[in-house]
C-alpha cells in the first residue's frame, strides 16, 4: 500500500503540460498571477533557464573577486569526517575586492537597520569585456540551467590531484562566467524587476548592462537582486554572472555553476515582498484549525500607499493549483505602507473540518492554496500564491514526535544535494525517483545535509509527505576546510540564516530547523554556546513555530552547547562512538552511549539521532571471512579490499566513528524515548569516499550512487515496514571458485523466524532473539543450485526468497522506470541494465563493457554503475556493468516527437533495447 499510492500521484502531478506551472506554484509564486481566466496579470515569474553562454577559465582568471583568501598550505582533504575543526586564519582585505559592493545585497535580512551596509560609489568591473552588451560571446558554450560545469569531468585520477577524493575528484574549481540577454519590453516600464537565483556555486556576482548589481557568496542559498535601476526598457539587457569556486572549500562534492533555477519576477511597485507570506496553524484537530497568514507588503513607489490585503483559501489539487471552489476568505487588512518601506499584517480565520497534512501511510499530505491580493486605490496591484498544510507537531521527550496528535516514529535518512551521475544540477524527476525509492524503503523523513536544498525538493517532500529537518551550515567561525564558509560567516550568517528560514517556512514537511552540523564551536565552551544562541535567536525570530537545533557529535550533556537547543540532535553519540571492542584502538572521538545521560540532564527535551550508522558497503560485493561481531570497522582483509577499493556488503562494516544498523537498532530499542533516527546516508553521494580516498564517491548509502539497492535496503525495510511481507537472502549464490568452502548466509525479514534450504535440504530454522535484526547461518558449505528461505511471523507463514546459481552470461536486459516521459527537455527516464544468463538470472559478478546507443529525439545524459571506484566520466556511453548492473539516464530533446529507442550491446551477449514514448 505504501508503494502503490505514490506512482499514481506522481503521474498526476507531473504531466508534461503542467510541469513548469507546478514548479512555479510550489515555490510560493504564480507564473501569471491569476486563478481565474481573463484576469489582468499583476505578477509574472518567468524562467530564464534557457540559452546561456558559458565560459570557464583554463588559466589565470580575472581579478574581479569577492574578497582575498588565506593561502592554502595543506590541501589534504583525506581526513576522518569527525576530525576536530580548527580556528580561522585572518587575512587582510584590499580595496580591489568587490565585497563592499556585494554586502548590501543582504540588507533585507539584517534586522537592525543601523547595521545595514552602504554601497560605495563607483561601478567595479564596468570596463571588463564580459559585462559589456557588445562583447562577442559566440565562441562560448551554450548551456541551459540548471547547469553543473564539473559533472561531465573528467575525474582527476592522480594521487595529489588539485581536487581530491573529498570533493569528488571532479573539476569543480575555478572561475566561470554566464551571460544571457533578457528582453524587457516597453510595457514593463514602471514595473519592479527582480532576478531570483535559487542557487549558484559560489561567490555569485551579477552585472546588468555593464553595471554591478550585487551578489551572494554562499552557494547554497537562494537570493534576489533588484534589477530595476539598471534596466533599459524596450529591448535586450545583458546579464553577466561571475562565479568563483575555490579548491578546498567543501568536505563533499559541491558542484559548480548556476545549478538551480533562475527567474525574472516582474511586479508592480506595490507588491508582496520576497517570501513575504508566513502561514501558521494553531489548535489543529479533525474538527477545526486556526490559520494565520502574515503578509509583508512592500512599497517601492515614491509615495505612501494605502493597501488592502485580501486572502482566499482553496484546497490544492495534485498540480498545486486551486482545486475547487473557494473555502474561505480571510478578514481583510487595511494598512498604509510608507514609500520605500514594507509593512507586515496578520490575518486569521478558523477552518472547519480541515484536511490535515501528515506522513503516509497512516496519514495523508493534504495541501491548501492561499491566494493573497493587494488592492490599492480600488485597483488590484498584486496577487501572490502560497501552498501550505494544516498540521500540528508535538515534540514530546517521552512519546517522541506526534503529528496531528498521532505518534510517528522517525525513520529517516540524510541526503546530500547531488543527484549522482547528473551532479548538483537540480532535476525534479531525479529527486522524485530518489524519494520514491526511499518511500519503498519505509523512510518517512529526510535530513538535508548540510545545506539548504533546491526549493523544488521541498515541494516534493510536501506533496509526498516526508518530514524534513532543514539545515543550513556545516561550519561557523571554525573551519573544516581551508576555504569553506568560515571565511564569510561573520558578514553573512545573519542574512543567510534569515533568508533560509523565510524561504522554507511555509513548507509543512519542514518539522525542524538545524543551524549547524558538528561545528567546531562544540569544543569552545561558553564561547561556542554564545554563538549558537545568536543563531538560535535568529531562527526563532523568523519562525517560532518549529524547534531549532544543531547536530552534536562532540558536545556532552554537561557542556553549555546543548543547553541552547530545543531538541537534542545527536550524531552517533546515542549508540556510542568507537566504544565497541573492535573500535577502541582507533584514533578520534571516543564516546560511550549517551542517550541516558542526555535524558537525565535534559528531561524535557526530545532526543533524535540526526546521524546514525555510517555503515559502509559496495553493492553486490562479499568478502571473506565475515566478522562474527554485529559491528566492526572496515580494515584490510576484514571487510575491505584496498586494491579493488571495495567494502563487503554483509552490512556489518562501518566508518571508524560509525556503527552497523544492528548496533543502532539495539541502542534505539533499549531507549524507546528516542524519537528515531536519520541514517547516514540514504544514497551514496559524490565526495567523502571513506574508506578509499582514491574513489569518487561515498560508500555509506543504503542505495549506491546509481540508485541501485544494496542489501542494507532490505535490512532497513524489514524494520521500517514491519507489516510488509518480505524476506531477503544474502549473498548471491554464484561462487564457482568456492565450491566446498564456507559462505555465511544472512536473512533480512520482517518476520520473526526463518528456515533456510539449500537444494531442498533444510539448513535449520532460526528465531530472532531480543535485539537481533538478522538471521545468520554462518557455516553454510557452498554447493551450486538453489538457496531459499521461508519466513514466519507469530508462527504463520510470512514471506519467502530464493537465490540461484547463474549459468553462463548470455544476454542483456533493459528496464525503464518510466516508458513515457515529457518532451520539455527536463524529464528523465532511468533505465537499468542487467547482465543475465539464458534463463534471465542475474550474473552477480558481471563487469562486462556495455555500449549504449539512442535513436530518435532522445539523448544520453549520463551512465553509471554504482561502483565508487569507477572513474569513467559520467557522460560516457561506454560503461562497464558492475556486479551485473548498469544505469543509463535518457532525456527527450526539448520539443522532440516520436519514439526513442535505447540499445545496449556487449561483445558476446545478446543485445537489449527498450522504446520510450511509444505511440
pLDDT in tens, 538-594: 999 999 999 999 999 999 999 999 999 999 999 999 999 999 999 989 999 899 999
The predicted pLDDT at position 324 comes to 78
The predicted pLDDT at position 918 comes to 78
The predicted pLDDT at position 4 comes to 35
Cell representation of residue 105: 545585497
The full length of the chain comes to: 919
Residue 243's SS3 state is strand
DSSP E strands in 491-594: the ranges are 510-517, 548-552, 568-571
C-alpha span between 142 and 437 (Å, rounded)? 34
Q: Tell me phi and psi for residue 301, to 5 degrees.
A: -85, 180
Give the number of other Cβ atoms within 10 Å of residue 413's Cβ.
28
C-alpha span between 8 and 16 (Å, rounded)? 15
Q: 653 has which bridge partners?
A: 632
- CA atoms within 13 A of residue 589's CA, in its CB half-sphere: 25
- Is beta strand 653-654 parallel, antiparallel or unpaired with respect to 632-633? parallel
Cα-only R_g, the chain: 28
Residues 6+ apart with CB under 8 A from 112: none
C-alpha span between 185 and 265 (Å, rounded)? 14
Cα dist from 579 to 132, 585, 593, 601, 659, whole Å: 61, 9, 8, 21, 10
The pTM of the full predicted model, rounded to 2 decimals, is 0.94
The predicted pLDDT at position 571 comes to 98
The predicted pLDDT at position 469 comes to 98
- Whether 122 and 56 have beta carbons less than 8 Å apart is answered as no
The predicted pLDDT at position 321 comes to 85
The predicted pLDDT at position 409 comes to 98
Nearest of 314, 198, 170, 310 to residue 262 by alpha carbon: 198
Which helix H or strand E contains 2, and what residues bound it? helix 2-13
The predicted pLDDT at position 74 comes to 75
C-alpha span between 724 and 783 (Å, rounded)? 31
Q: Tell me phi and psi for residue 162, to 5 degrees.
A: -65, -30
Q: 197 has which bridge partners?
A: 223, 262
- Whether 268 and 382 have beta carbons less than 8 Å apart is answered as yes
Nearest of 588, 597, 593 to residue 572 by alpha carbon: 593
Q: What is the pLDDT of residues 723-732, one digit of tens each?
A: 999 999 999 9
Residues with active-site annotation: 518, 611
C-alpha span between 55 and 149 (Å, rounded)? 10
DSSP E strands in 391-449: the ranges are 393-396, 400-403, 406-407, 410-415, 445-448
Residues 6+ apart with CB under 8 A from 740: 781, 782, 783
Q: Residues of the chain whose pLDDT is less than 50?
A: 1-39, 93-94
- Give the neighbor-by-neighbor strand order of the sheet with 727-730: 727-730, 745-749, 775-777
Amino acid at each position: 500500500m505504501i508503494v502503490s499510492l505514490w506512482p499514481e500521484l506522481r503521474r498526476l502531478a507531473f504531466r508534461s503540460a503542467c510541469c513548469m506551472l507546478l514548479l512555479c506554484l510550489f515555490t510560493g509564486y504564480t507564473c501569471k498571477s491569476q486563478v481565474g481566466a481573463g484576469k489582468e496579470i499583476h505578477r509574472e515569474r518567468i524562467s530564464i533557464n534557457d540559452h546561456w553562454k558559458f565560459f570557464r577559465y583554463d588559466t589565470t582568471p580575472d581579478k574581479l573577486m569577492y574578497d582575498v583568501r588565506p593561502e592554502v598550505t595543506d590541501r589534504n582533504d583525506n581526513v576522518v569526517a569527525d576530525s576536530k575543526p580548527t580556528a580561522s586564519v585572518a587575512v587582510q582585505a584590499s580595496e580591489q575586492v568587490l565585497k563592499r559592493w556585494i554586502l548590501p545585497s543582504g540588507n533585507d535580512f539584517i534586522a537592525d537597520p543601523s547595521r545595514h551596509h552602504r554601497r560605495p560609489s563607483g561601478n567595479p568591473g564596468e570596463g571588463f569585456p564580459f559585462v559589456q552588451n557588445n562583447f562577442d560571446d559566440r565562441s562560448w558554450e551554450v548551456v541551459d540551467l540548471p547547469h553543473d560545469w564539473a559533472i561531465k569531468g573528467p575525474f582527476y585520477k592522480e594521487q595529489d590531484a588539485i581536487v581530491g577524493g573529498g570533493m569528488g575528484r571532479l573539476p569543480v574549481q575555478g572561475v566561470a562566467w554566464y551571460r544571457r540577454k533578457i528582453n524587457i519590453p516597453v510595457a514593463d516600464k514602471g514595473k519592479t524587476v527582480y532576478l531570483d537565483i535559487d542557487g549558484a556555486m559560489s561567490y555569485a556576482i551579477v552585472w546588468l548592462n555593464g553595471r554591478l548589481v550585487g551578489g551572494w557568496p554562499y552557494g547554497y542559498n537562494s537570493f534576489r537582486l533588484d534589477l530595476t535601476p539598471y534596466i533599459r526598457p524596450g529591448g535586450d539587457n545583458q546579464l553577466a554572472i561571475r562565479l568563483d569556486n575555490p579548491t578546498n572549500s567543501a568536505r563533499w562534492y559541491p558542484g559548480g555553476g548556476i545549478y538551480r533555477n533562475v527567474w525574472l519576477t516582474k511586479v508592480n511597485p506595490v507588491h508582496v515582498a520576497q517570501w513575504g507570506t508566513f502561514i501558521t496553524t494553531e489548535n489543529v484537530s479533525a474538527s477545526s484549525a486556526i490559520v494565520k497568514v502574515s503578509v509583508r507588503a512592500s512599497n517601492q513607489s515614491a509615495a505612501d500607499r494605502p493597501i488592502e490585503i485580501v486572502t482566499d483559501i482553496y484546497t490544492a489539487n495534485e498540480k498545486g493549483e486551486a482545486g475547487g471552489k473557494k473555502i474561505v476568505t480571510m478578514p481583510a487588512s487595511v494598512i498604509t505602507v510608507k514609500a520605500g518601506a514594507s509593512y507586515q499584517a496578520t490575518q486569521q480565520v478558523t477552518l472547519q473540518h480541515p484536511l490535515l497534512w501528515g506522513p503516509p501511510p497512516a496519514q495523508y499530505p493534504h495541501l491548501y492554496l492561499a491566494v493573497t491580493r493587494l488592492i490599492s486605490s480600488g485597483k488590484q496591484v498584486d496577487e501572490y500564491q502560497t501552498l501550505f498544510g494544516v498540521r500540528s507537531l508535538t515534540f514530546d521527550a517521552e512519546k517522541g514526535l506526534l503529528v496531528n496528535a498521532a505518534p510517528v516514529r522517525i525513520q529517516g535518512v540524510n541526503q546530500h544535494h547531488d543527484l549522482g551521475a547528473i551532479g548538483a544540477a537540480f532535476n525534479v524527476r531525479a529527486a522524485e525517483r530518489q524519494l520514491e525509492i526511499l518511500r519503498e524503503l519505509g523512510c518517512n523523513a529526510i535530513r538535508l545535509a548540510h545545506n539548504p536544498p533546491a526549493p523544488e525538493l521541498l515541494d516534493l517532500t510536501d506533496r509526498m509527505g516526508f518530514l524534513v529537518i532543514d539545515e543550513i551550515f556545516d561550519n561557523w567561525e571554525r573551519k573544516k576546510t581551508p576555504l569553506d564558509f568560515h571565511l564569510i560567516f561573520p558578514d553573512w550568517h545573519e542574512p543567510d540564516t534569515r533568508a533560509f528560514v523565510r524561504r522554507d517556512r511555509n513548507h509543512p514537511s519542514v518539522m525542524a530547523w538545524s543551524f549547524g552540523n558538528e561545528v567546531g564551536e562544540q569544543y569552545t565552551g561558553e564561547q561556542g554556546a554564545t554563538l549558537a544562541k545568536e543563531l538560535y535567536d535568529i531562527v526563532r525570530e523568523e519562525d517560532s513555530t518549529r524547534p531549532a537545533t544543531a547536530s552534536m557529535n562532540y558536545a556532552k550533556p554537561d557542556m553549555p552547547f546543548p543547553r541552547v537547543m530545543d531538541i537534542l540532535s545527536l550524531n552517533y553519540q546515542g549508540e556510542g562512538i568507537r566504544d565497541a571492542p573492535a573500535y577502541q584502538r582507533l584514533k578520534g572521538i571516543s564516546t560511550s552511549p549517551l542517550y541516558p545521560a542526555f535524558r537525565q540532564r535534559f528531561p524535557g527535551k526530545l532526543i533524535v539521532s540526526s546521524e546514525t550508522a555510517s555503515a559502509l558497503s559496495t553493492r553486490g560485493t562479499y568478502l571473506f571471512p565475515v566478522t562474527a561481531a554485529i559491528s566492526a570497522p572496515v580494515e584490510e582483509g576484514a571487510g575491505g579490499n584496498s586494491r579493488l577499493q571495495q567494502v563487503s556488503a554483509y552490512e556489518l562494516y562501518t566508518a571508524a566513528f560509525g556503527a552497523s544498523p544492528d548496533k543502532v537498532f539495539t541502542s534505539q530499542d533499549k531507549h524507546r524515548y528516542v524519537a528515531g533516527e536519520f541514517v547516514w546516508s540514504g544514497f551514496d553521494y559524490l565526495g567523502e569516499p571513506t574508506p578509499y580516498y582514491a574513489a569518487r564517491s561515498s560508500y555509506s548509502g543504503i542505495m549506491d550512487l546509481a540508485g541501485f539497492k544494496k542489501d542494507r535496503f532490505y535490512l532497513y525495510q524489514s524494520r521500517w515496514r514491519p507489516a510488509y511481507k518480505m524476506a531477503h537472502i544474502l549473498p548471491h549464490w554464484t561462487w564457482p571458485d568456492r565450491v566446498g568452502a564456507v559462505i555465511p548466509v544472512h536473512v533480512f525479514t520482517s518476520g520473526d523466524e526463518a528456515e533456510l534450504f539449500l537444494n531442498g535440504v533444510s539448513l535449520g530454522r532460526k528465531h530472532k532473539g531480543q535485539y537481533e535484526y538478522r538471521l545468520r547461518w554462518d557455516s553454510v558449505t557452498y554447493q551450486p543450485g538453489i538457496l531459499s528461505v521461508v519466513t514466519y511471523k507469530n508462527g504463520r507463514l510470512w514471506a519467502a526468497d530464493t537465490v540461484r546459481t547463474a549459468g553462463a552470461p548470455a544476454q542483456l536486459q533493459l528496464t525503464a522506470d518510466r516508458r513515457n516521459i515529457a518532451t520539455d527537455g527536463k524529464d528523465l527516464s532511468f533505465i537499468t541494465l542487467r547482465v543475465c544468463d539464458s534463463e534471465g538470472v542475474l550474473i552477480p559478478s558481471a563487469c562486462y563493457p556495455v555500449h549504449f546507443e539512442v535513436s530518435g529525439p532522445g539523448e544520453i545524459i549520463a551512465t553509471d554503475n554504482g561502483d565508487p571506484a569507477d572513474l569513467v566520466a559520467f557522460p560516457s556511453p561506454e560503461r562497464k556493468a558492475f556486479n551485473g548492473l548498469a544505469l543509463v539516464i535518457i532525456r527527450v530533446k526539448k520539443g522532440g516527437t516520436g519514439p526513442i529507442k535505447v540499445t545496449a550491446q556487449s561483445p558476446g551477449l545478446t543485445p537489449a533495447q527498450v522504446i520510450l514514448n511509444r505511440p
